Structure 1
Amino acid sequence: MAKTRDGIAIGRRGLLLGSAGAVAAAGLGLWPRRGLAAEPITVAGIYTVPVEQQWVSRLHKAAEAAKAAGLIEYTFSENTANTDYPRVMREYAEAGVQLIMGEIFGVEQEAREVVLDYPETAFLLGSSFPPDDAYPNLAVFDNYIQDASYLSGIVAGAMSQSGNIGMVGGFPIPEVNRLMYAFMAGVREVKPDATFQVSFIGSWFDPPKAKETAFAMIENGADLLYAERFGVSDAAQEKGVLAIGNVIDTQADYPDTVVASALWHFGPTLQAALDRIAAGTFEAADYGAYSFMKEGGCSLAPLGTFAGKVPQSALDLVAEREAAIKAGSFTVEINDTEPKSS
């Protein structure tokens, strides 16, 4: 388990997101402050990668914001191997933590065995499987930001000159597949004949491998890359092609490369879990819908350095579709099957 300071676990860069600036960026103003009479809920995060990795950073950032608002006490462990995950779950449960959150995509059955042993502990875990009443204290969630991914695809289609687009993912699991399909659907709104090179690197955190995979796609004619993994935007920057980000906004690091990003906001998901724990109604449920755009769970990042460079026709279509998505009159298809190259 990570070392602690003032009751909060500090990983290799655990203080990074605990700064005042990071808390503000996490949307602190969106969290209602808990009254003085209410005890904060104790929360532990268990992450298989560093907390700065795209997906995990959203959980960590939301938890830091909830902690700053007085809603929770928060500790975490990062870089937890799948083989170690059940043991760390047990350690936190034995310590009396009220809510354990994290991702169990690579340790589904083993994690459920732990859940059964601690019926008084609430578990909110990223999973590719639906909720199961056999595990009444396990709520699942997934990264349903297909709405924002679709909008980023519209921007990508307008910015690609060749219509040859490279897409580098971690693993072909539903959470990744649906974002890729939504992105591709957005691209085809403005470039119906676009072609896609699709590859999965078999890792959630291997920037060098992602970079090399992206280089190969550029050599094969791609002039825009979908950066589902870290390392892709580095390749795009070195070769002078454009990129679209995923889950977090990295434009500050790649101001001439990353045009737009589909952002995930975990705050609504965490808030829903905390509300149910406080009310004593936490149960097996699917929290995936809290990632939808209409719930505030995702958004398209501001264009920033690319303001004025994206064709107005594409921006008009983005605005039209975003309004329709939020109103419920337009639905982005959810396709969880593995995407293939064109």
Structure 2
Amino acid sequence: MLAGVSRRTLIKAAGAGAALAAAGTLPTRLFAQEKLKVAAIYTVPFEQQWVSRIHQAALKAQERGDIEYTATENVSNTDYERVMREYAEAGNQLIVGEVFGVEDAAREVAADYPDTAFLMGSSFKPDDAHPNFAVFDNYIQDASYLTGIIAGAMSTSKNFGMVGGFPIPEVNRLMHAFMAGVKETAPDAKFQVAFIGSWFDPPKAKETAFAQVEGGADVLYAERFGVSDAAKEKGVLAIGNVIDTQSDYPETVVASALWHFEPTLDKAIAEVKAGTFTAADYGVYSFMKEGGCSIAPLGTFEGKVPAEAMALVAEKEAAIKDGSFTVEINDDEPKSS
């Protein structure tokens, strides 16, 4: 993810053409018997939540023997296009990354390398002009909603602090889902919503969370690193996002919404190997029914969450998976209330 600059303000509307089926596909030469050469480009460190899940999925595919994997972290937006071209020139058949701040430039690179498949995190949809450029996003609203049910049941003050990076779709939809879940068990809930203007600034996130605790919050939604540290120091609870940090904060993190990038990446690998990779929207593979997200084990909080809340979580999870219940996807900026 882009560090230090709001992605939405940098994305050009020209990339917004929505088309799930592309005009063509990559050349039909099959790679089924080969290890696919895959490269990834990240604008933040490997350990950052969002990127860590992509990196982990790629490492697993490499361990299985499906791919040869190389990656570069901390690539600036101004250098992103150069690194993309270098990886394409090096013969990588699939290039993965997140182009929220360099949307137009990334699509131009894809146009220059039509035989290379690009799978990129993006707020926009694929388009006919770039048949080898597919997009993905972390649509883990299902798991976020379920953690909200738990949070609502664990709060005494019914006041919830929420610290995000930027108010862009990838963050907004998860916050809204969490808030909707909270209201299932705490209908009179109040929310303090803040954005720190960075994807990786734990000290700033921590200070923001401190202020929310001072404002009465006894459960914090930790969309960013640093929030759980604040919760631990202040003796309140936290809900994790994207990764499982329960073992790091055993008395603080009650539950976490996990993102599993494996379904997304494995689908792309299979399509490239089959010669059928197209400009598609891979966002659906983050949905719970596709195995793209889940709730982390409660760890030390097992048995401490009210039974009624856990029964509701089980009921809603089953309904999400069988399609009888759909968590709303709301990309609008959430507000304090």
Output the TM-score relative to the length of structure 1: 0.89
**Paired AA for residue 199 in structure 1:** A
Distance 2:156 2:105 in 1: 47
- With a CA cutoff of 8 Å and minimum separation of 6, indicate the structure with the bigger relative contact order: 2
CA distance in 2, matches of 1:336, 1:280: 34
- Residue aligning to 2:25: none
In 2, the alpha carbon distance for the partners of 1:133 and 1:78 equals 30
Shift of 1:111: 1.1
> Is the aligned partner of 1:81 residue 2:76?
yes
Shift in alpha-carbon separation, 1:37–1:186, aligned structure 2, 3 A: closer
Deviations 1:139-163 (A, max 9, x none): 0000100000000000000001111
1:208-219 matches, within 5 Å, as: 208-219=203-214
Q: Is 1:48 paired with 2:43?
A: yes
RMSD: 1.0
| 1:326 aligns to 2:321 (yes or no) | yes
Q: d(CA) in 1 for partners of 2:32 and 2:117?
A: 22
What does 1:17-32 correspond to in 2, within 5 Å? none
Instruction: Tell me by how many angstroms 1:66 deviates.
Output: 0.2
Match of 1:118 in 2: 113
Match of 2:95 among 91, 96, 100: 100
SS at match of 1:128: coil
Q: Distance in 2 between matches of 1:39 and 1:114?
A: 25
Partners of 1:246 and 1:152 in 2: how far apart?
9
Deviations 1:269-307 (A, max 9, x none): 001101110111111100000000000000001111001
For structure 2, the residue ranges without an aligned partner over 5 or more in a row are 1-30
User: In 1, Cα distance between the equivalents of 2:112 and 2:203?
Assistant: 40
Secondary structure at the aligned position of 2:160 is classed as strand
Residues 32 and 274, structure 2, Cα contact 8 Å, conserved in 1: no
Provide the residue aligned with 2:235 in structure 1: 240
Once residues 291 and 239 of structure 1 are traced to their aligned partners in structure 2, the CA distance between those partners, rounded to angstroms, is: 33
Aligned pair count? 307
Tell me what 2:9 maps to: none
What is the rounded CA distance, in whole Å, between the counterparts of 1:164 and 1:341 in structure 2?
Answer: 11
Deviation at 1:175, TM superposition (A): 0.8
For 1:308 and 1:157, locate their aligned partners in 2 and report how far apart those are by CA, in whole Å. 16
Q: State the partner residue of 1:149.
A: 144
Letter of the 2:125 counterpart: P
Q: Which residue of 2 aligns with 1:127?
A: 122
Q: Which residue of 2 aligns with 1:270?
A: 265
Q: Determine the structure 2 residue equivalent to 1:17.
A: none
| 1:108 CA displacement | 1.0
2:194 aligns to what? 199
Pick the aligned partner of 2:85 from 81, 85, 90.
Answer: 90
Give the match's secondary structure for 2:39: strand
* Secondary structure, aligned partner of 1:234: helix
Instruction: Note the alpha carbon deviations across 1:6-60, whole angstroms, 9 max, x for none.
Output: xxxxxxxxxxxxxxxxxxxxxxxxxxxxxx9811100001001111110000000
Q: Report the CA distance between 1:114 and its aligned residue.
A: 1.1
- Give the aligned residue type for 1:169: G
Amino acid corresponding to residue 212 of structure 2 in structure 1: M
Confirm whether residue 176 of structure 1 aligns to residue 171 of structure 2: yes
Question: 1 CA distance for matches of 2:101 and 2:295?
Answer: 29
Q: Deviations over 1:139-197 (max 9, x none)?
A: 00001000000000000000011110000001111111000000000000011110100
1:288, 1:193 → 2: CA distance? 32
Match of 2:225 in 1: 230
CA distance in 2, matches of 1:208, 1:304: 26
Q: State the match for 1:252 in structure 2.
A: 247
DSSP-derived class of the 2:191 partner: strand
Cα distance in 2 for partners of 1:231, 1:96 equals 39
Matched-pair identity in %: 78
Inter-CA distance 316–116: structure 2 relative to 1 (3 Å threshold): same
For 1:242, the aligned partner's letter is L
Residues 197-245 of structure 1 show CA distances to partners (whole Å, capped at 9, x for unaligned) of 0111111100011001101111111111000000000000000000000
Cα distance in 1 for residues equivalent to 2:102 and 2:229: 31
Residue type of the alignment partner of 2:103: E
Report the equivalent of 2:24: none
**Contact residue 32 and residue 273 of structure 2 kept, 8 A:** no
